[in-house]
């Protein structure tokens, strides 16, 4: 199944974020059964709250296609998109979204709010959720455990 293949590619991007001490979210944009763009969180690196994996991936995809309209594309993301990224997906006319793990804190496909439940005046996105959910969630759990351990170590060495 192609969804599994492409989600594994998004997980590779999430691993890059993990290794860079970024929240491990990765995304790939697929057009005609081929990855045309990749992205992973770079919020800390760029000190930019908008530098989410999806945003970086959509920008890269628009550059490849030389068009901001990303019709006939599918975005694979390891985390349910937040409201900002959901808006970007709608604005850029992505045809399909496939995500892995729910985001209880900011998920915009029903975990916190469901922006996609509202009829958009110009565009609708086909959505599939919870593809390779366990792998994506495990990466998140390991990341936040690592962060907590680092904070404990920092506190104990400061005292």
> Quick check: 109 and 130 in contact, CB under 8 A?
no
126 is catalytic: no
- The DSSP element (H or E) to which 62 belongs, if any, is helix 53-65
Residue 38's SS3 state is strand
Catalytic member of 54, 80, 135, 151: 54
CB 3 within 8 A of CB 33: no
- Could you tell me how many residues make up the chain? 159
Contact predicate 125/89, CB 8 Å: yes
Integer-rounded Cα radius of gyration of the chain: 16
Which residues are known to be catalytic? Answer: 54
């Amino acid at each position: 199944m192609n969804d599994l293949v492409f989600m594994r590619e998004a997980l590779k991007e999430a691993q890059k974020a993990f290794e860079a001490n970024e929240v491990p979210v990765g995304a790939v944009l697929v057009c005609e059964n081929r990855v045309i763009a990749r992205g992973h969180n770079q919020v800390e690196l760029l000190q930019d709250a908008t530098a989410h994996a999806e945003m970086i991936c959509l920008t890269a995809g628009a550059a490849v296609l030389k068009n901001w309209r990303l019709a006939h594309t599918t975005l694979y993301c390891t985390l349910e998109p937040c409201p900002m990224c959901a808006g970007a997906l709608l604005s850029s006319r992505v045809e399909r979204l496939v995500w892995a793990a729910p985001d209880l804190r900011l998920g915009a496909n029903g975990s916190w709010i469901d922006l996609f439940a509202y009829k958009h005046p110009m565009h609708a996105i086909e959505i599939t959720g919870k593809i390779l959910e366990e792998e994506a969630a495990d990466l998140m759990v390991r990341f936040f455990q690592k962060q907590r351990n680092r904070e404990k170590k920092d506190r104990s060495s400061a005292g």
